[in-house]
Structure 1
């Protein structure tokens, strides 16, 4: 069913404008810059949180007696509840609004990461990682930000990756600086402080999405938000009144994703999210293990493995290894300007395919190169390309689904991806210690699958306005199923 708009006018001769006209007219200004900075802070906090175990893992091994399997399970514990959280909170964001769900998730994340500092034993550490992992505040926030952007500016969603890279690289520098002196709990406290800042700033700054207000029939609230954004950007809205739309029923229903217009889009997006997130988090949380099994130690200056170290861990903490990983993480920066250019030049699907090919090549080369310099180079390449897959996929999902299904569309895709994220530590942090080559072959094969799927005539979203309502238009089905 296609819902038609009906204009709300005080007089028949009054002019009106559509929401997309208003967003395009407001353009990009101070409001968007402030919002981008908040999203960036959220990215940095999440990067430190998601990669927490890869930083504090060596300390947990020494001081709390964790083995490689337990470290892998601890990493997986963070992703398992996100399988449910991504889908359900995405649905709630479609039904109840982006802002209230985001506020709830921000408080949730801060509170449980804060409690993690006081974990007395292994059991509490595992339980708190499970509970804190259910929060998906970053995804809801990025979805909200995208609904304020005109088509030409949505490539900014790729630039946000810069903040993730900063957080990713900084986590190792912070770990090297404070863990040897203050212990692993000091790193957790730093992450909690970042979430505290996100929580406070979000509460004071973030508005509700005008697109959500529009599809729920709250045209006056949508217009009020647009006026606030226009004022922040020192501009005005188009002349007239915002068109009033009939309320979209059935918002956030997962069944809508399997209607003919979205069925094959959903199937391929889900498969891409699974493979893309599996490879990214596989190397992201397992980066320390890749370096370690290549003969570089984290806890001493000699060549003993961590398993051979004395339980007292009196050996000197090797900060050089963490600096190596920081360099590799900052190497992701190289992929950002390239992807910003490619998504507008050749489109989203082909850019996804190129990044997937690059990640497959990087994983393959790591099988043959174990020296510090070449390992750092190919590790940086794998992080850059897999992060590119992740970022472009998220942007594509935000663009391909309408406002009434955007939360559940992206959320369900991320939920499928979190299944891949949950098992990825077993492929890197566990399998890596058993068979280094096989672990990297698994990552290479998964990247090849990611490379092929975008070439199956996936719909291009470059330069298109975001849709607000679901449709039953057979022409929207891709040639892939014809």
Structure 2
């Protein structure tokens, strides 16, 4: 049976007046002393304490296998763009900017729906947005296969991006269920997850207990926590689950409050760079392989890889076995070095990990310009993809840990929208500038990573090992 006694804001049995507890704080969890007269003044418990007490178990394993699709959906969409570009270029006789626009429209849909999805998730629940995003993106992705023209193709891809924006809220749902000491180990492992049958998700993944309490539905939160405890063969702590309903859920002003303003501004830039560099590495590698520009410094119209078409150059060189092999190996870089990512998070923390990964990414972006063999290029690309992927993973974790529950999804929504601005710009740098100069196309990515690495030292908050503490304490810090 549950060890919780439900206590609302006006309960006559409450001994301590509490503010809303629905935030991630920046200090270590302090142990509470049990009052001498336990039967007169029972221990007040917050949702984060219940999550920490229950610990890791079977529920979290199931959670990760099911919610792993939130990572896979986005990864598949981006790799699809890299692989399909050579085909649609010649299928519809597209110019470079038209090919770049395909990727940009996906990110435009993601950006426009990112903030909206975050607002809805904070107001009405995380799971509704995640599940709706799955259905939406799957439907319009299927329709894209039947696009009769280029115009229809980019329109449907933008709607797919809108659905993926909702799916990205799955990361918030995972972060709110994981105990503090396990987050740095478990969240990077999302890269390994398999995509299950979508229809089997709803019965097994409950709504976030933190969201339920912040919405004033304490009874539902207790049932959720009890169900998780039963699955983990654990128990709930004895005490009162206390949190009055929060009226400020989904309020964007929290993101720019004095305690979070600098964090939000720096995070928006970090997300922009994370997306700009990640998708830049994916699309640049595709362009370099398709156009055979690995050792070309001066790209002229007479380059043998280009063919004139109606007064404009057109690359009609489909990928061969070697090109697909290089792309596949480089993709493995996103998961092969996950143990390194885990070590960085646990040893150096979030801020230092971001700085180190971004500085290394800047170096490797410039190294890709080195004329080398296909094996050397594949190795450089493997390491570059590893670095930009790890950076994206860390910024996801840090964002989920630093924002309060009442604005966590909205904060993630704002961040992902800024990231899609970077994603919208990346194709025009990687796919258009690449036709003019390889070094000119790679330099913006390197510079952006280097500047962002320096900016991360200004982040005021380190969330390593921190529990999800009361929002009122967050606002005081």
TM-score under structure 2 normalisation? 0.85
Deviates more, 1:450-459 or 1:434-443: 450-459
- 1:160 equivalent to 2:153? Answer no
CA offsets per residue over residues 17-68 of structure 1, 9 Å max, x none? 3222221122111111111112223322321112212111111123232232
Inter-partner Cα distance in structure 1 for 2:170 and 2:211: 14
CA offsets per residue over residues 171-213 of structure 1, 9 Å max, x none? xxxxxxxxxxxxxxxxxxxxxxx6xx55313223221000001
Instruction: Find the counterpart in structure 1 of residue 234 from structure 2.
Output: 235
Instruction: Find the counterpart in structure 2 of residue 401 from structure 1.
Output: 403
SS of match in other structure, 1:243 = strand
Larger RCO: Structure 1 or Structure 2 (Cα < 8 Å, ≥ 6 residues apart)?
2
Whether the aligned pair in 1 keeps the contact of 2:107 and 2:424 (CA below 8 Å) is yes
Q: How does 1:212-231 map to 2 (within 5 A)?
A: 212-231=211-230
Inter-partner Cα distance in structure 1 for 2:306 and 2:353: 40
Instruction: Find the counterpart in structure 2 of residue 287 from structure 1.
Output: 285
Whether the aligned pair in 1 keeps the contact of 2:351 and 2:456 (CA below 8 Å) is yes
Q: How does 1:412-423 map to 2 (within 5 A)?
A: 412-423=414-425
Alpha-carbon offset, residue 330 of structure 1: 0.8
Instruction: Find the counterpart in structure 1 of residue 11 from structure 2.
Output: none
- State the superposition RMSD in angstroms: 2.7
Alpha-carbon offset, residue 466 of structure 1: 1.6
Counting matched residue pairs gives 433
Alpha-carbon offset, residue 346 of structure 1: 1.2
Instruction: Find the counterpart in structure 2 of residue 169 from structure 1.
Output: none
1:42 to 46, 54, 70: 70
Whether the aligned pair in 1 keeps the contact of 2:276 and 2:426 (CA below 8 Å) is yes
CA offsets per residue over residues 264-295 of structure 1, 9 Å max, x none? 11111111111121111111233211323444
Q: 1:442 to 1:88 in 2, by over 3 A?
A: same
1:72 to 100, 114, 126: 100
CA offsets per residue over residues 365-397 of structure 1, 9 Å max, x none? 111234212211111121111111111011001
Inter-partner Cα distance in structure 1 for 2:179 and 2:318: 53
Whether the aligned pair in 2 keeps the contact of 1:110 and 1:199 (CA below 8 Å) is no
SS of match in other structure, 2:237 = coil
Alpha-carbon offset, residue 359 of structure 1: 0.4
The structure with the greater share of residues assigned to helix is 1
1:112 to 140, 153, 175: 140
Q: How does 1:245-394 map to 2 (within 5 A)?
A: 245-295=243-293, 304-305=304-305, 307=307, 318-394=320-396
Whether the aligned pair in 2 keeps the contact of 1:211 and 1:468 (CA below 8 Å) is no
Whether the aligned pair in 1 keeps the contact of 2:290 and 2:318 (CA below 8 Å) is no
TM-score under structure 1 normalisation? 0.84
SS of match in other structure, 1:249 = coil
Inter-partner Cα distance in structure 2 for 1:245 and 1:221: 13
Instruction: Find the counterpart in structure 2 of residue 184 from structure 1.
Output: none
CA offsets per residue over residues 49-105 of structure 1, 9 Å max, x none? 122121111111232322322111001110012112111111110111111122221
Inter-partner Cα distance in structure 2 for 1:427 and 1:60: 19
Q: 1:346 to 1:34 in 2, by over 3 A?
A: same
Whether the aligned pair in 2 keeps the contact of 1:296 and 1:321 (CA below 8 Å) is no
Inter-partner Cα distance in structure 1 for 2:408 and 2:66: 21
- 1:32 equivalent to 2:60? Answer yes
Instruction: Find the counterpart in structure 2 of residue 138 from structure 1.
Output: 167
Q: 1:111 to 1:422 in 2, by over 3 A?
A: same
Whether the aligned pair in 1 keeps the contact of 2:335 and 2:386 (CA below 8 Å) is yes
Deviates more, 1:330-339 or 1:398-407: 330-339
Inter-partner Cα distance in structure 2 for 1:245 and 1:63: 59
Inter-partner Cα distance in structure 2 for 1:73 and 1:343: 36
SS of match in other structure, 1:431 = helix
Inter-partner Cα distance in structure 2 for 1:460 and 1:472: 13
SS of match in other structure, 2:410 = helix
